[in-house]
Amino acid sequence: MTLKSILDITVSPKSSKKKISIGENNHMKIYLTSPPVDGKANAELIALFSKNLKVPKSDIEIISGLKSKKKRIAIFGLTPEEIFKKIQGS
């Protein structure tokens, strides 16, 4: 069985810089520089998580919210605790 963590996140496209922010109740807000056009922001979202978590892009999947600011993503191979620890350390 493959370990899979599901996260509910909020994305803010067209921001001045790329950043993953963890707020109250461990809610993540992701700031992206790409516009939400032609999947560019979604691609940047996956690349940002891949870089910060040091996992392949293929281990990150957007489950729902492809055209929404509220998204649900799956990250394979890491527990939620490991994800938050890596992001807070980056």
Beta bridge partners of 51: none
| Cβ–Cβ < 8 Å for 10, 78 | no
Per-residue pLDDT reduced to its tens digit, 33-87: 999 999 999 999 999 999 999 999 999 999 999 999 999 999 999 999 999 999 9
In the chain, where the domains are located:
4-89
Q: Specify the CATH superfamily of domain 4-89.
A: YggU-like (3.30.1200.10)
Unique residue bearing structure tokens 């996992």:
55
CA distance 57 to 45: 10
| Cβ–Cβ < 8 Å for 4, 83 | no
pTM, 2 dp: 0.93
